């Protein structure tokens, strides 16, 4: 499987779809209603209320979750290939994303973090393009608007606003006007939200400001959760080692892309501390950057046996945790 996805063939899209079905088909065997949490914000609650008003069966939400996961994988793969983050075009980032998101069953349920993940991957793509943008004001404003929408889906995602400034610091020369434009873009969706609340006689500062409550997550309640976390961290550490060893062979922009991806992971890790739930659904926001490092784990080792053994062990474990637990 590693050898197949190392090649960039058009037929690999079909193979990736079959691979995704093998890992995610339990979504259709045991369909679930949308996951609702206290940290969900206006846009997600409005979306769920709209869909539930249509009396759709649970399998519909499983189908949407499947589509979101597959499109997220292909978008992440496109970013890695177009930005030359690996030495050659490959389908390993997409494969790694599907595999990584199969390590926790809660990550496959329709939820606010799942919706937000699509937006965050797209935002990261727009951020790495800032390096070659001559007039970046409009692009930065659009990134800010999308980030503001992200926070209106999921309140803890407000920490990702920091990622805009990290991106400007890494990708652009320091221009204070661009930093202000980015912040202005973030506040634009809140401006329209305030208008709606005012016109419907619901205005209150508490309804506009995201509620952030830092707390340590609960200790894993099961050995399976512990194993999933270990596999996530193991692939990231090995991939980070190989990326670091190959940085000297990469273009400056590619190095910046990896640096921004690492900051993306660090910010998403802090979001884990925002709501210390025991279902680990907010950990989903870490999966895109982690999957990119996992792809490096499968791509760079000169000994092909190690990536194969690691992949098939993780694959077998993902099958077990999704179908028999």
pLDDT digits (tens, 9 = 90+) for 253-265: 889 999 999 999 9
User: Average pLDDT for residues 85-104, to the nearest whole number?
Assistant: 91
Q: What's the chain's length in residues?
A: 325
User: Average pLDDT for residues 104-125, to the nearest whole number?
Assistant: 92
pLDDT reported for residue 217: 66
Q: Which residues are CB-neighbours of 14 under 8 A, at least 6 positions away?
A: none
Task: Give the least confident one: 126-135, 195-204, 284-293.
Answer: 195-204
Give the number of other CB atoms < 10 A from CB of residue 41: 22
Q: Is the per-residue pLDDT at 118 higher than 90?
A: yes
32-35-37 Cα angle (round to 5): 160
Q: Is the per-residue pLDDT at 9 higher than 90?
A: no
Nearest to 217 by CA among 267, 160, 275, 266: 275
pLDDT reported for residue 205: 66
The DSSP string of 260-289 is HHHHHHHHHHHHTTTS--SS-GGGGGGHHH
Q: Is the per-residue pLDDT at 140 higher than 60?
A: yes
Nearest to 23 by CA among 280, 292, 318: 318
Q: How far is CA 79 from CA 60, 233, 261, in A?
A: 29, 22, 11
Give 223-259 pLDDT, tens digit per residue: 888 898 899 999 999 999 999 988 888 888 889 999 9
Task: Give the least confident one: 143-152, 196-205, 309-318.
Answer: 196-205
Would you say the pTM of this structure is higher than 0.85? yes
18-19-23 Cα angle (round to 5): 115
d(CA 193, CA 272): 26
The DSSP string of 101-128 is TTSSGGGGS--HHHHHHHHHHHHHHHHH
DSSP secondary structure code for residue 220 in this structure? P
pLDDT reported for residue 216: 66
Q: Is the per-residue pLDDT at 306 higher than 70?
A: yes
d(CA 280, CA 285): 10
Q: Is the per-residue pLDDT at 10 higher than 80?
A: no
pLDDT reported for residue 99: 94
pLDDT reported for residue 213: 66
């Amino acid at each position: 499987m590693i050898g197949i996805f190392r090649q960039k063939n058009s037929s690999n899209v079909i193979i990736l779809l079959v691979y995704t079905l093998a890992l995610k088909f339990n979504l259709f065997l045991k369909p679930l209603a949308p996951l609702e949490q206290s940290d969900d914000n206006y846009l997600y609650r409005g979306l769920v209320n709209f869909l539930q008003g249509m009396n759709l069966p649970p399998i519909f939400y499983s189908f949407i979750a499947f589509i979101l996961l597959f499109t997220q994988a292909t978008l992440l793969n496109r970013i890695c290939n177009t930005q030359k983050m690996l030495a050659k075009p490959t389908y390993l980032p997409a494969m790694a994303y599907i595999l990584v998101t199969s390590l926790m069953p809660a990550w496959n349920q329709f939820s606010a973090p799942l919706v937000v993940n699509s937006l965050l991957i797209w935002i990261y793509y727009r951020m790495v393009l800032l390096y070659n943008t001559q007039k970046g004001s409009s692009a930065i404003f659009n990134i800010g608007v999308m980030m503001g929408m992200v926070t209106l889906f999921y309140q803890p995602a407000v920490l990702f606003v920091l990622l805009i400034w990290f991106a400007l610091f890494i990708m652009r020369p320091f221009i204070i006007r661009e930093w202000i434009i980015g912040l202005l873009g973030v506040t634009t969706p809140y401006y329209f939200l305030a208008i709606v609340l005012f016109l419907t006689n619901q205005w209150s500062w508490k309804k506009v400001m995201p509620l952030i409550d830092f707390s340590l997550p609960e200790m894993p309640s099961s050995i399976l959760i512990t194993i999933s976390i270990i596999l996530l961290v193991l692939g990231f550490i090995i991939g980070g080692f190989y990326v670091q060893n190959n940085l000297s062979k990469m273009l400056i922009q590619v190095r910046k892309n990896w640096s921004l991806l690492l900051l993306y992971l660090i910010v998403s890790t802090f979001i884990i501390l925002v709501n210390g739930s025991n279902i680990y659904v907010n950990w989903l926001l870490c999966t895109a950057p982690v999957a990119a490092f996992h792809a490096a784990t499968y791509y760079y080792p000169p000994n092909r046996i190690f990536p194969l053994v690691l992949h098939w062990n993780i694959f077998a474990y993902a099958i077990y945790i999704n179908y028999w637990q």
